[in-house]
Structure 1
Amino acid sequence: MPEYCTGVMALKPRPSKNDYYLNIALDVASRGTCLRRNYGAVIVKNDAIVSTGYTGAPRGLPNCCDLGFCDREEKGVPSGERYELCRSVHAEMNAIINAGRGKTLNAILYLSGYDVQTGKLIDAEPCFLCKRIILNAGIYKVICRNADGSSWGIIPEGHPTYDA
């Protein structure tokens, strides 16, 4: 019997759809290979998962966790800057590449992440380049998890944010 069952009819509350997919994104992030921060992305279309992606080096290349160092960290680059020096492909990019455009049109992308050193949630938001790729993929909404567990959303065309 699942751990949320304490009796025949006693269940813990079901998570919202946003929390459900954000929790899956966090599980996907656990496959990440970055030594700083790992993110997971889940693309959902018509309430079905069509793709996932996590932070990691391009296929066939060594990962930072395998090499034991981070180029950006060794150069003193602050988090969130100079992504061109990073060997990893972002979770959002990997999910889009794995899906193909036909599956991303009018889909929702869910994004969660955590700090590798502390294991704590971090505020998730696509970087500028990922936002352009998301827009080009035809994804119409992005739902992100914050460090406090709350979520928020953006519409890639630049519309204002809304409460998820």
Structure 2
Amino acid sequence: MTRPGWHQYFMEITRVVAKRSTCLRRQVGALIVKERRILCTGYNGAPAGIPHCSMVGCLRERLDIPPGERHELCRGLHAEQNAIIQAALHGVSIAGGVFYITHQPCVLCAKMICNAGIKEVYFQGNYPDQLAADIFQEAGVKLICMGEDDKNGENEDEGHHPAALE
């Protein structure tokens, strides 16, 4: 039996969280951890109390909006936004915490993550956003890409630190 390292353990949980997503385009899961304790989770989908995109269709698809553009034209919240909101709703401080996300954050989420006091962001799926990477770098937030070869936790602390995305 192979025991996963902490980063791999938390990244695996993000994939389970992503299964709750109601987005028709991309399923994203996120969690915020502090001192190896999970504080909150989030996945992408419509706000509480309104119909999910899986029920009413995707506005972005109808308007033919490419991925990574015009984030405001979407019924859903991003997984990172939902995780931060859950922490705020329950009075949980996430300052100094670590974010684990199935995909690289967009620029909007990067700004929220920086202002929330998060110190490190681990992600696995590529969703390249150079401006987001630049913002993290300027704010001193470590952005760490865990490659597919990290699935068994073998590279526990050897994630790729993208100074510039290619």
Does 2:53 correspond to 1:58? no
Tell me what 1:19 maps to: 8
Spell out the pairing of 1:106-117 with structure 2 (5 A cutoff).
Answer: 106-112=96-102
Amino acid at match of 1:109: F
| Compared CA separation, residues 137 and 161, structure 1 to 2 (3 A) | closer
How far apart are 1:17 and its partner, in Å?
1.1
8 Å contact kept, 2:98–2:119: yes
Which TM-score applies when normalising by structure 1? Answer: 0.76
How far apart are 1:146 and its partner, in Å?
2.9
Give structure 2 stretches of 5+ with no counterpart. Answer: 127-132, 145-157, 160-166
Higher strand share: 1
Does 2:112 correspond to 1:133? yes
Identity of aligned residues (%): 44
CA distance in 2, matches of 1:72, 1:104: 31
State how many pairs are aligned. 135
Q: RMSD value over aligned CA atoms?
A: 1.9
8 Å contact kept, 2:96–2:118: yes
| Compared CA separation, residues 76 and 18, structure 1 to 2 (3 A) | same
Tell me what 1:39 maps to: 28
Give structure 1 stretches of 5+ with no counterpart. Answer: 1-10, 113-123, 148-153
Higher helix share: 2
8 Å contact kept, 1:40–1:53: yes
CA distance in 1, matches of 2:125, 2:23: 19
CA distance in 2, matches of 1:159, 1:103: 17
Q: Which runs of 4 or more aligned residues in structure 1 lie more than 6 Å from their structure 2 counterparts after TM superposition?
A: none
Tell me what 2:19 maps to: 30
Q: Which of 67, 72, 80 is equivalent to 2:60?
A: 72
Spell out the pairing of 1:74-93 with structure 2 (5 A cutoff).
Answer: 74-93=62-81
